[in-house]
């Protein structure tokens, strides 16, 4: 709870407590915390002197603001027409199959969230997805499997190092 | 003494393919040869093709290499920058390059007539360097306006140029500015709409990433013309790099007194703020954008009053697209007559297109208004992929019109397209070959609008769900004739009864798809 307050207050202060900054404050607290809990929203409402209902209304409106915790890695796959006509559907199916979850879900181990996104403006290399902040383009079902395998391998290596260092 | 300059493409796609490693490796090699004071290294925003990135351009001779990995750096630096020999095997192949070098040598003759006004500097300058911008006539228009022109004269010049809004609607920019300048309320604002979310469109991102000061200078000129001293750039939440470049550019311009208080010693002050969105297509609609800018849900407002009368904070506001604003400095600098000589009489100037789908070369192209779709596909796009036949194109993004081969030779400008029932929209050109399933395409497009509808008005909120249901049955071959009739009926209602541009445009692909490809919809009906 104290961490929630500290993160939230820092961002609110950065914008000078200006109610007009609500969208940017929500986004920035979201990016720092991974998602916005009820406590985050209540604190933002209090600090910006806005009703909690309004803050919730704004937070739930925008797709880059999450009201639920997401997986460690978040895949945002573009499902719009330019990516679709160059083979998007096959890639989409491969993603669901590889991760074993449908779009909109998070894996039980909390490693992966599979979301769709509207156009991210990289259409010249479609089909496109973002994994966390990185854009991957010219996707095929094979390439998607390779990319996911790479992330899994990196995560395993990171865990192994942490175990060796006695940090886990 | 700088004798050479090396620019590496630094767009997100290049970065994802190791542009940063390439840059670091080149810098390390330069240090090894003691060349770090003679050769300047930087990023450049944009190359129109993505199959050869990361691209490295060596100036002054404008040799284009690509793709260049970190492993190639040693050879490139030793041969080209130390010994002065071009590394042939790393160069972008010549016949391929002719469609792409365009970005680097706009005055050269290798360009198939590509005309660059907006993208004149993109790809030639480092977007992080205000000096580069100034070296290519940057801020000359603003300086000239402040020293020699009254605000009215700037406004009249833009009006006389007949520049039309490049965000999609094609509304005359000068007229919009006049509306704001005439308001009795003297607190006025300039808002740059950089919430580029139309699927298939990324021109604004590349303009900002390639030449950010052009947008800032355009905003300052707009502010001077209409009497505004503050401007906001509303940039979509997903464009992290473009936002960073803009913030950097504003700081640099303020340091040189090209923005801020009493610009260049004049009475005119102009401050620009950058405001990031948080993911909502609707915020590209100008009144929804203004609500979002004020920290609210991005729901559209009723019009009238238009933003020119009551916009941001209920004050008179100019809302212009990125590309529109980037056209303003050259118009003020070279004059309306110069601008009107480009393009067509009814729509002067150029248009920046994004070319996508089943063409050999996808990417960005700037061409004079009036260039036909056939020319764009054949010349800049290198023809249809795999030698297949053209079937349809969707012009103007997902809210755009689906047009058949019959319209390939219509000169593309706002007026001519409108006369043929087609739209230029945002400039996205989605090219579909003979294998494209139009019903499936319509399904994907409506799925987008169902997701992005803000829910404020019933026709759009419910209509898109119903259209999607009908299309789903058609797509699967489970539809009855009544489904097709219902689809058409609802599409007509949604177009005429929706509250804002999003809902009004959503059925356009269905209605134009039905107009030109009705057989394909009919063939899916189970009688």
Residue B52 has a pLDDT of 79
Per the structure block, which two tokens stand in for A127?
């089909």
Please name the residue of chain A whose CA is at the shortest distance from the CA of residue B509.
A81
DSSP-derived secondary structure letter, B520: H
A87 in B contact zone (CB under 8 Å): no
Closest Cα in chain A, distance from residue B34 (Å): 34
Contact residues, chain A, for B240 at CB < 8 Å: 133
Omega of the bond leading into B54 within 30 degrees of 0 (cis): yes
How far is the CA of B69 from the CAs of B345, B362, B478, in angstroms?
Answer: 46, 22, 51
- ipTM value of the model? 0.91
Q: How would you write chain A as a 3-class SS string?
A: CHHHHHHHHHHHHHCCCCHHHHHHHHHHHHHHHCCCCHHHHHHHHHHCCCCHHHHHHHHCCCCCCCCCCCCCEEEEEECCHHHHHHHHHHHHHHHHHHHCCCCCCECCCCCEEEEEECCCCCHHHCCCEEECCEEECCCCHHHHHHHHHHHHHHHHHHHHHHHHCCCC
Bridge partner residues of B429 (DSSP): B355, B395
B291 in A contact zone (CB under 8 Å): no
Residue B2 has a pLDDT of 75
Least confident of A22-26, A125-129, B149-153: A125-129
Bridge partner residues of B43 (DSSP): B8
- In whole angstroms, what is the distance from residue B503 CA to residue B498 CA? 5
pLDDT exceeds cutoff 70 at A115: yes
Residue pLDDT, tens place only, A27-63: 999 999 999 999 999 999 999 999 999 999 999 999 9
Residue B122 has a pLDDT of 83
Residue B363 has a pLDDT of 84
> Which residues of A, range 92-151, sit inside 8 Å of B by Cβ?
116-126, 133-137
Per the structure block, which two tokens stand in for A158?
């990171």
The helix (run of H) or strand (run of E) holding residue B429 is strand B428-433
Residue B311 has a pLDDT of 97
Bridge partner residues of B41 (DSSP): B6
How far is the CA of B127 from the CAs of B21, B250, B252, B463, in angstroms?
Answer: 19, 12, 11, 44
pTM here is: 0.86
- In whole angstroms, what is the distance from residue A164 CA to residue B205 CA? 44
DSSP-derived secondary structure letter, B100: T
pLDDT in tens, chain B (527 residues): 678 888 888 877 788 889 999 999 999 999 999 998 888 888 876 555 667 788 888 877 778 888 899 999 999 999 999 888 889 888 876 444 333 333 333 333 233 446 788 888 887 888 999 999 999 999 999 999 999 999 999 999 999 999 999 998 899 999 999 999 999 999 999 999 999 989 999 999 999 999 999 999 999 999 999 999 999 999 999 898 999 999 999 999 999 999 999 999 999 999 999 999 999 999 999 999 999 999 999 999 999 999 999 999 999 999 999 999 999 999 999 999 999 999 999 999 999 999 999 998 888 889 889 999 998 898 888 889 999 999 999 999 888 999 999 999 999 999 999 999 898 989 999 999 999 999 999 999 999 999 999 999 999 999 999 999 999 999 999 999 999 999 999 999 999 999 999 999 999 999 999 999 999 999 999 87
Query: Which of B374, B425, B376 has its CA nearest to residue B398?
Result: B425
Omega of the bond leading into B67 within 30 degrees of 0 (cis): yes
Partner residue opposite A118 with nearest CB, options B199, B292, B441? B199
Residue B339 has a pLDDT of 96
Residue B271 has a pLDDT of 98
- In whole angstroms, what is the distance from residue B277 CA to residue A13 CA? 19
* B362 contacts A119? CB cut-off 8 A: no
Please, which residues have CB within 8 angstroms of residue B288's CB and are 6 or more apart in sequence? B280, B282, B298, B299, B300, B301, B454, B500
Q: What is the mean pLDDT of chain A?
A: 92
Residue B101 has a pLDDT of 33
Query: Which pLDDT band, with edges at 50, 70 and 90, does A164 fall under?
Result: confident
Please name the residue of chain A whose CA is at the shortest distance from the CA of residue B353.
A124
- In whole angstroms, what is the distance from residue B498 CA to residue A26 CA? 30
Residue B112 has a pLDDT of 42
Contact B163, B137 (CB under 8 A): no
A82 in B contact zone (CB under 8 Å): yes
Query: Which pLDDT band, with edges at 50, 70 and 90, does A167 fall under?
Result: low
Please name the residue of chain A whose CA is at the shortest distance from the CA of residue B274.
A24
B495 in A contact zone (CB under 8 Å): no
A80 in B contact zone (CB under 8 Å): yes
Partner residue opposite B448 with nearest CB, options A27, A118, A120? A118
DSSP-derived secondary structure letter, B172: B
Q: Is B486 helix (H, G, I), strand (E, B) or coil?
A: helix
B100 in A contact zone (CB under 8 Å): no
Domains of chain B: 4-97 (3.40.30.10), 130-340 (3.40.50.11540), 350-433 (3.10.20.600), 439-522 (1.20.1440.230)
B12 in A contact zone (CB under 8 Å): yes
Please name the residue of chain B whose CA is at the shortest distance from the CA of residue A58.
B297
Contact residues, chain A, for B200 at CB < 8 Å: 80-82, 119, 123
Partner residue opposite A82 with nearest CB, options B200, B275, B296? B200
- In whole angstroms, what is the distance from residue B417 CA to residue B323 CA? 19
Query: Which of B92, A91, B346, A85 has its CA nearest to residue B103?
Result: B92
Angle at B430 between CA B429 and CA B434, to 5 degrees: 130
* Start-end of H helices in B349-457: 373-375, 414-419, 438-452
- In whole angstroms, what is the distance from residue B471 CA to residue B511 CA? 13
Bridge partner residues of B65 (DSSP): B56, B91
Residue B143 has a pLDDT of 96
State the average pLDDT over residues A114-123.
89
Residue B99 has a pLDDT of 32
B224 in A contact zone (CB under 8 Å): no
Contact residues, chain A, for B277 at CB < 8 Å: 23, 62
Query: Which of B81, B87, B83, B64 has its CA nearest to residue B26?
Result: B81
- In whole angstroms, what is the distance from residue B299 CA to residue B282 CA? 7
* B430 contacts A85? CB cut-off 8 A: yes
Contact B245, B209 (CB under 8 A): yes
Query: Which pLDDT band, with edges at 50, 70 and 90, does A131 fall under?
Result: very high
Residue B51 has a pLDDT of 73
Contact B488, B442 (CB under 8 A): no
A67 in B contact zone (CB under 8 Å): no
Please name the residue of chain A whose CA is at the shortest distance from the CA of residue B452.
A118
Interface-testing mutation among A57, A124, A128, A129, with chain B (most B C-beta atoms within 10 A): A124
Closest Cα in chain B, distance from residue A101 (Å): 20
CA end-to-end distance (rounded Å), chain B? 79
Closest Cα in chain A, distance from residue B447 (Å): 8
Per the structure block, which two tokens stand in for B372?
């036909």
Interface-testing mutation among B51, B196, B200, with chain A (most A C-beta atoms within 10 A): B200
Angle at B162 between CA B158 and CA B165, to 5 degrees: 90
Contact residues, chain A, for B448 at CB < 8 Å: 79-81, 118
Query: Which of B147, B140, B165 has its CA nearest to residue B347?
Result: B165
State the average pLDDT over residues A99-116.
94
Residue B320 has a pLDDT of 98
Partner residue opposite B279 with nearest CB, options A63, A123, A133? A63
Contact residues, chain A, for B455 at CB < 8 Å: none
Domains of chain A: 2-59 (no CATH), 73-164 (3.40.30.10)
- In whole angstroms, what is the distance from residue B300 CA to residue B313 CA? 14
Closest Cα in chain A, distance from residue B224 (Å): 25
Per the structure block, which two tokens stand in for B453?
């509808």
């Amino acid at each position: 709870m104290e961490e929630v307050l500290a993160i939230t207050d820092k961002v609110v202060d950065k914008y000078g407590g200006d109610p007009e900054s609500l969208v940017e404050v929500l986004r920035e607290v979201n990016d720092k915390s991974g998602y916005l809990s009820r406590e985050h929203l209540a604190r933002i409402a209090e600090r910006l002197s806005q009703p909690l209902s309004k803050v919730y209304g704004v937070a739930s409106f925008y797709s880059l603001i999450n009201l639920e915790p997401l997986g460690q890695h978040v895949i945002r796959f573009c499902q719009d027409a330019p990516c679709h006509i160059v083979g998007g559907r096959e890639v989409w199916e491969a993603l669901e199959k590889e991760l074993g979850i449908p779009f909109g879900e998070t894996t039980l181990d909390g490693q992966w969230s599979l979301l769709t996104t509207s156009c991210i403006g990289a259409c010249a290399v479609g089909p496109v997805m973002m994994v966390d902040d990185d854009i991957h383009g010219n996707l095929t079902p094979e390439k998607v499997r390779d990319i996911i395998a790479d992330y899994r391998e990196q995560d395993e290596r990171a865990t192994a190092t942490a175990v060796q260092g006695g940090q886990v | 003494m700088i004798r050479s300059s090396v620019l590496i493409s630094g767009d997100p796609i290049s970065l994802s393919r190791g542009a940063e490693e390439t840059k670091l490796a080149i810098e390390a090699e330069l240090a090894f040869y003691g060349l770090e004071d003679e050769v300047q290294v930087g990023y450049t925003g944009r190359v129109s093709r993505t199959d050869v990135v990361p691209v490295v351009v060596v100036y002054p001779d404008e040799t284009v290499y690509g793709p260049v990995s970190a492993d190639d750096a040693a050879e490139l630096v030793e041969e080209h920058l130390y010994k002065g020999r071009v590394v042939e095997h790393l160069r972008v192949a010549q016949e391929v390059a002719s469609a792409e070098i365009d970005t680097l040598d706009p005055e050269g003759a290798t360009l198939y007539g590509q005309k660059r006004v907006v993208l004149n500097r993109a790809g030639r300058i480092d977007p992080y360097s205000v000096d580069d911008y100034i070296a290519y006539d940057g801020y000359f228009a603003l300086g000239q306006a402040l020293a020699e022109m009254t605000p009215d004269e700037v406004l009249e010049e833009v009006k006389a140029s007949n520049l039309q809004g490049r965000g999609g609607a094609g509304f005359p920019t000068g007229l919009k500015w006049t509306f704001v300048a005439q308001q009795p309320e003297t607190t006025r604002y300039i808002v740059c709409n950089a919430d580029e979310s139309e699927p298939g469109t990324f021109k604004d991102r590349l303009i900002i990433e390639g030449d950010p000061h052009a947008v800032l200078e355009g905003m300052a000129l707009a502010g001077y013309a209409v009497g505004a001293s503050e401007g906001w750039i509303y940039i979509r939440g997903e464009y992290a790099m473009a936002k960073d470049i803009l913030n950097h550019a504003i700081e640099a311009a303020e340091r040189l007194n090209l923005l801020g208080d009493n610009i260049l010693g004049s009475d005119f002050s102009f401050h620009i703020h950058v405001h990031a969105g948080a993911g909502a297509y609707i915020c590209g609609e100008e009144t929804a954008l203004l609500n979002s800018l004020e920290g609210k849900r991005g729901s559209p407002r009723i019009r009238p009053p238009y933003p020119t009368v009551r916009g941001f904070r209920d004050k008179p506001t100019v809302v212009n697209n990125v590309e529109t604003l980037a056209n303003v400095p050259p118009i003020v600098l070279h004059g309306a007559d110069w601008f009107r000589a480009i393009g067509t009489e009814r729509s002067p100037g150029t248009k920046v297109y994004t070319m996508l789908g089943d063409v050999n070369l996808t990417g960005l192209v700037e061409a004079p208004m009036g260039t036909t779709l056939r020319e764009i596909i054949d010349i800049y796009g290198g023809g249809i992929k795999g030698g297949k036949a053209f079937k349809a194109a969707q012009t103007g993004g997902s809210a755009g019109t689906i047009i058949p081969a019959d319209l390939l030779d219509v000169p593309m400008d706002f007026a001519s397209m409108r006369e043929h029932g087609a739209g230029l929209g945002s400039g996205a050109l989605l090219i579909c070959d003979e294998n494209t399933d139009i019903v499936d395409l319509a399904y994907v497009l409506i799925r987008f609008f169902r997701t992005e509808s803000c829910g404020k008005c019933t026709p759009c909120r419910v209509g898109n769900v119903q259209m999607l249901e009908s299309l789903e049955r058609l797509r699967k071959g489970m539809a009855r004739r009544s489904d097709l009739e219902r689809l058409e009926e609802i599409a007509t209602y949604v177009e005429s009864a929706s509250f804002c541009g999003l809902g009004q445009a959503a059925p356009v692909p269905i209605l134009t798809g039905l107009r030109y490809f009705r057989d394909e919809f009919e063939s899916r009906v189970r009688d």
